[in-house]
């Protein structure tokens, strides 16, 4: 599809908004609940679609569906709790209120790494709030989006409330621009790379749109000598190798304190050898699917070669495999000038850096323009609080590699984003607030 199709979808969404915004929160909640039930009833099929189009192991697809359906469920509940305020008035003749109302037609652009959950985390709250949606899923993974639409229709979501524009990579820029520049669209929500997020923010300036961005990360994963090493290794295995390393909150810079550096590397290498098996996502033994496309394989290989030529040592992996597979890779002696330290890796690469003091660890962790997720492993409770407060990231995992949940909030500081998804703040991006002053009272 192209920009003309996008214009038509925006028109449909605008017409549907006139009806949808008049529904009660309970009516919207009921439809979302039916959508949840249908997603659960069809979970196996949805998981197969996910694995087929994206490559992740079937068990991980089920995991993504549990997470993604969780957002529809959460926002079906939250829809009924959009409270306004009554402001105590300084004048007897005036009453003062704050109303919360749906912002209008929203435009969404989502990535391929979580083809289901990135949609429900945005469309769930938008629809719950009374907004309508024009969604452009990633070109590599359109089918999960279309399957969600099919089930939404069966759940009773009226036509025009959720519109999907599938398009090629070549048409992505024009579709994105049409969404951002449209005066009808009142809010843009994006998850993807930081450079594209910045383009959308600029393009949205001419109509002064509210923009929510979940851009890229460069997550530090700090393991102090006070850590339980087994817990820290388990944390890396989840944070780094889930989705074959293709998540924006994946550990990107694994920082390990000097005194435990060798012990930690040995323990991580052992677990990687035992637990990571690359292969077809439909094979129950596979834990590591293929990377999304040839471009992603090129990128990870370049990062590994760059590190190697600058003095890092490859302990495991480091080779491409047939298809879009890449061996789970462990490299040591990584330094701050290497590409793998400075760029988001998005692949199965554990790059391990050595640090000496707590001050150095904090400095290194925060010395980046990204601020999405950071992790710290220590059993010292004072150090836990100290580091959790000092890290300049929107999400901090303390002795935990998998912090994302529908009840929690998700979003970044610095160039990693604007706004928050999920949790009790997740509806706010889709609401406008209005001050009503009622005067002339006796
Ligand atoms: P990745 O490199 O991981 O694919 P992107 O940020 O390029 O990350 O992609 C995330 C989403 O943004 C996808 O849906 C993609 O089609 C879309 N996209 C890519 N380029 C643009 C653009 N110039 N304008 C709007 N959307 C874009």
Do 249 and 191 touch, CB atoms closer than 8 A? Answer: no
Taking only the tens place, the pLDDT of each residue in 278-334 is 999 999 999 999 999 999 999 999 999 999 999 999 999 999 999 999 999 999 999
pLDDT in tens, 122-166: 999 999 999 999 999 999 999 999 999 999 999 999 999 999 999
Which of 144, 196, 247 is the pocket-test mutation for ligand 1 (most atoms within 8 Å of CB)? 196
408 lies in some domain: no
On whether both 297 and 194 belong to a single domain, the answer is no
Q: Annotated catalytic, 150?
A: no
- Is 405 among the domain residues? no
Q: Looking at ligand 1, which atom is closest to the CA of residue 179?
A: 25
Q: Tell me the per-residue pLDDT of 83-110, one tens digit each, with 9 for 90 and over.
A: 999 999 999 999 999 999 999 999 999 9
Q: How many domains is the chain built from?
A: 2
User: pTM, whole model, 2 decimals?
Assistant: 0.98
Specify the residue with its C-alpha closest to ligand 1, atom 2: 193
Domain shared by 83 and 97, yes or no = yes
Instruction: Find the catalytic residue in 60, 73, 78, 214.
Output: 214
On whether both 135 and 199 belong to a single domain, the answer is: yes
φ, ψ (nearest 5 deg) of residue 141: -140, 65
pLDDT in the model for residue 116: 98
What CATH number corresponds to the domain at position 14? 3.40.605.10
Annotation marks residue 275 as catalytic = no
Question: Is residue 137 a part of any domain in this protein?
Answer: yes
Choose one of 108, 111, 145, 180 to mutate for the ligand 1 pocket test, by most ligand atoms within 8 angstroms of C-beta: 111
Atom number in ligand 1 closest to CA 169 = 16
**What's residue 336's pLDDT?**
98
- Catalytic, out of 248, 340, 421, 428: 248
Residue 180 alpha carbon, nearest atom of ligand 1: 25
Atom of ligand 1 nearest to the CA of 175: 25
Query: What DSSP string runs through 10-60?
Result: HHHHHHHHHHHTTS-HHHHHHHHHHHHHHHHHTHHHHHHHHHHHH---HHH
Q: Whose CA is nearest to atom 13 of ligand 1?
A: 138
- 379 and 250 within one domain: yes
CATH of the domain at 262: 3.40.309.10
Same domain, 310 and 161: no
Question: Quick one: which of 422, 430, 428, 425 has its CA closest to 114?
Answer: 422
Q: How far is CA 267 from the centre of its chain?
A: 29
Question: What is the mean predicted confidence (pLDDT) over 386-408?
Answer: 98
pLDDT given at position 84? 97
Domain range holding 231?
A: 219-398
Same-domain check for residues 163 and 243: no
Indicate whether 162 and 183 sit together in one domain.
yes
Same domain, 170 and 248: no
Q: 4 pLDDT band (50/70/90 cuts)?
A: very high
3-state secondary structure of 118: helix
Q: What is the pLDDT of residues 20-41, one digit of tens each?
A: 999 999 999 999 999 999 999 9
Residues with Cβ within 6 A of ligand 1? 109-111, 136, 138-139, 172-173, 176, 192-193, 196, 199
User: Does residue 66 sit in the same domain as residue 187?
Assistant: yes
Q: Are residues 8 and 143 in the same domain?
A: yes
Mean pLDDT on 186-195? 98
Q: Are residues 313 and 424 in the same domain?
A: no
Same domain, residue pair 207 and 245:
no
Instruction: Please check whether residue 404 lies inside any domain of the structure.
Output: no
Helices of type H across 163-218: 169-181, 194-203
Q: Helices 381-390 and 358-366 sit at what angle, rounded to 10 degrees?
A: 30
């Amino acid at each position: 599809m192209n920009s003309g199709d996008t214009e038509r979808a925006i028109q449909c969404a605008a017409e549907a908004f006139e009806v949808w915004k008049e529904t009660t929160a309970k009516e919207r909640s009921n439809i979302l609940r039916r959508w949840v039930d249908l997603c659960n009833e069809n979970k196996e099929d949805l998981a197969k679609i996910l694995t087929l189009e994206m490559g992740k192991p079937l068990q991980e697809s089920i995991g993504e569906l549990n997470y993604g359906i969780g957002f529809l469920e959460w926002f079906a509940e939250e829809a009924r709790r959009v409270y306004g305020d009554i402001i105590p008035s300084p004048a007897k003749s005036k009453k003062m209120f704050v109303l919360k109302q749906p912002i209008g037609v929203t435009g969404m652009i989502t990535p391929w790494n979580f083809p289901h959950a990135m949609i429900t985390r945005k469309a769930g709250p938008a629809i719950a709030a009374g907004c309508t949606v024009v969604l452009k899923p990633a070109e590599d993974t359109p089918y999960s989006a279309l399957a969600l639409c099919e089930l939404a229709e069966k759940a009773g979501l009226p036509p025009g409330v959720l519109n999907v524009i599938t398009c090629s990579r070549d048409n992505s820029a024009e579709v994105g621009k049409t969404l951002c520049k449209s005066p009808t669209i009142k809010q843009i929500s994006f998850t993807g790379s930081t450079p594209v997020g910045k383009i959308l923010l600029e393009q949205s300036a001419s109509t002064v749109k509210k923009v929510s961005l979940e851009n890229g990360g460069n997550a530090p994963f700090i393991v102090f000598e006070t850590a339980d090493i087994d817990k820290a290794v388990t944390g890396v295995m989840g944070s780094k190798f889930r989705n074959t390393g293709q998540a924006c909150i994946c550990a990107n810079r694994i920082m390990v304190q000097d005194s435990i550096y060798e012990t930690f590397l040995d323990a991580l290498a052992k677990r990687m050898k035992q637990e990571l098996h690359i292969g077809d996502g439909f094979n129950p033994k596979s834990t590591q699917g293929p990377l999304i496309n040839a471009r992603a394989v090129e990128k990870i290989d370049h990062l590994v070669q760059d590190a190697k030529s600058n003095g890092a040592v490859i302990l495991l992996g480091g080779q491409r495999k047939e298809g879009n597979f890449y061996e789970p890779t462990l490299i040591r002696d990584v330094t701050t000038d290497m590409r793998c330290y400075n760029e988001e890796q998005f692949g199965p690469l554990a790059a391990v850096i050595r640090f000496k003091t707590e001050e150095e660890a904090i400095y290194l962790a925060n010395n980046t323009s990204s601020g999405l997720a950071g992790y710290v492993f220590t059993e010292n409770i004072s150090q836990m609080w100290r580091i959790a407060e000092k890290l300049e990231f929107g999400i901090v995992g303390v002795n935990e590699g998998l912090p994302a949940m529908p009840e929690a909030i998700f979003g970044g500081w610095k160039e990693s984003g604007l706004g928050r998804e999920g949790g009790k703040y997740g509806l706010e991006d889709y609401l406008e607030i209005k001050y009503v002053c009622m005067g002339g009272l006796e």
